[in-house]
Structure 1
């Protein structure tokens, strides 16, 4: 068995799309609906754009889109398979693409939760504040830390999955555990394939952010929360569909936030935490 230093799906974008298909582009359509309802301008930064599926759909809907990701493999795939947006390499922990270059920053698929520490969250939100025009929006979709308060149904028990890609069956066994000290949801995933390749073990983690904590972080960086809810969304049950309005609870396993930048500068930070990490789009 090998222990991979990178993410198998991130390093193989076509495999990522096969594992997480979104043929109806629900994530992009949900995002577009949020932007439309709150009157966002035309310029969008998709932070953690991954394979570029959502960025390209938003581009096709008439928006001027920059797709940003840390993975060179993802960016190369996006340029080839989902052309239209401008694709750039950037780290969500801190990026500078220019002041006021966008009217909305989009961060989907729990990408924001790769900010594990308070310093990294401050870096992300400060970068968003710098990139956004006055009154710009931040739209994010992620796992909900509050779901794990007292619930263990997703924890500690290995879960198996399989899919076929180019005739090869890929299987994964995933175990989630809560690291309460660092406030992280840790994931151990073992990949096997029926092509005779060696099994690969991978470990990653998401920050567990709670709804009220998120409100505080956003306010400290000059954002007014317009929506904060657990559904409907592109990964909820039931799924979001055209015409559905946001709910008012934050109890289920996904969290959706729309916030407007009301102050373009602030000296407030949330304080430092230890540890560093880098991340890109993932489920």
Structure 2
């Protein structure tokens, strides 16, 4: 068995095949949030991945910069989802211009790759510096509170398969909670019917709780405008146009919109 940092993010076309979003649901939800709360046109998509959401926001008329740490993802984004400017940046700390953006967007649990308090502080400090006064932070992620007393997503391997370019890929994924580190750890093993060796990848997300998130955002000068579990782009049922934010934070996704009230 070989080990890869992340088979999907190292192979952007495979990532898009595994997680198709033909209706650009994530991008539409994000644009709805930006319009609902009056964001200006300059948007930073932090952890932009393959660029699908950044390109949707660009098509909606915004001036978008997509940022990611993966050179493979950025190359794919430039080739397949043109329009935004794409730059390499680390969400743990970045400098893309003081007051250069009206909104920072961080989707698909990218914020939860801030595993430590120092990393989370680095991200929020960077957002504070990057945002103009009154700028928005829009984030979508797993909800740490969901795992308080629930084990339905844990410990039991989950199987998935899909076919891409004639090859069938299968994954076995197991999630466990590391309570000491406050992390949701994932072990995923990939096999394919093309004769390649199995690949194991390990990753983790910070388990942030709603009240903890409110506290940390306030400490960095943000006012929380909305904090809710659904509807969103990855909830069941998924969000659709015209839906208002919910009022609970109990399900497995968490959505936050916060406004910068005290610039750096």
TM-score category (smaller protein): over 0.9
Specify the alignment match of 1:68 in structure 2: 67
TM-score (ref. length: structure 1) = 0.93
- Kindly state the Cα deviation for residue 3 of structure 1 after the two structures are TM-superposed: 1.7
2 CA distance for matches of 1:134 and 1:27? 26
- Kindly state the Cα deviation for residue 63 of structure 1 after the two structures are TM-superposed: 0.2
2 CA distance for matches of 1:81 and 1:39? 29
1:40 is aligned to 2:39: yes
1:9 is aligned to 2:31: no
> What is the root-mean-square deviation in Å for CA atoms of aligned residues?
0.4
Show structure 1 runs of 5+ residues with no match: 266-283
Specify the alignment match of 1:163 in structure 2: 162
Write the deviation string for residues 141-187 of structure 1: whole angstroms up to 9, x where unpaired.
00000000000000000000000000000000000000000000000
After TM superposition, the structure 1 = structure 2 runs for residues 41-190 of structure 1, keeping only pairs within 5 Å, are: 41-190=40-189
TM-score (ref. length: structure 2) = 1.00
- Kindly state the Cα deviation for residue 87 of structure 1 after the two structures are TM-superposed: 0.1
2 CA distance for matches of 1:211 and 1:29? 24
Write the deviation string for residues 182-223 of structure 1: whole angstroms up to 9, x where unpaired.
000000000000000000011000000000000000000000
Specify the alignment match of 1:224 in structure 2: 223
State the secondary structure of the residue aligned to 2:33: helix
The number of residue pairs the alignment matches comes to 264
1:206 is aligned to 2:205: yes
2 CA distance for matches of 1:39 and 1:108? 19
Q: Which structure is richer in relative contact order (CA contacts within 8 A, separation 6 or more)? A: 1
Write the deviation string for residues 235-262 of structure 1: whole angstroms up to 9, x where unpaired.
0011000000000000000000000000
- Kindly state the Cα deviation for residue 54 of structure 1 after the two structures are TM-superposed: 0.2
State the secondary structure of the residue aligned to 2:8: helix
State the secondary structure of the residue aligned to 1:263: coil
State the secondary structure of the residue aligned to 2:205: strand
2 CA distance for matches of 1:37 and 1:148? 30
Show structure 2 runs of 5+ residues with no match: none
Q: Which runs of 4+ in 1 moved over 3 A?
A: none
2 CA distance for matches of 1:198 and 1:237? 35
2 CA distance for matches of 1:152 and 1:116? 21
Write the deviation string for residues 32-51 of structure 1: whole angstroms up to 9, x where unpaired.
00000100000000000000
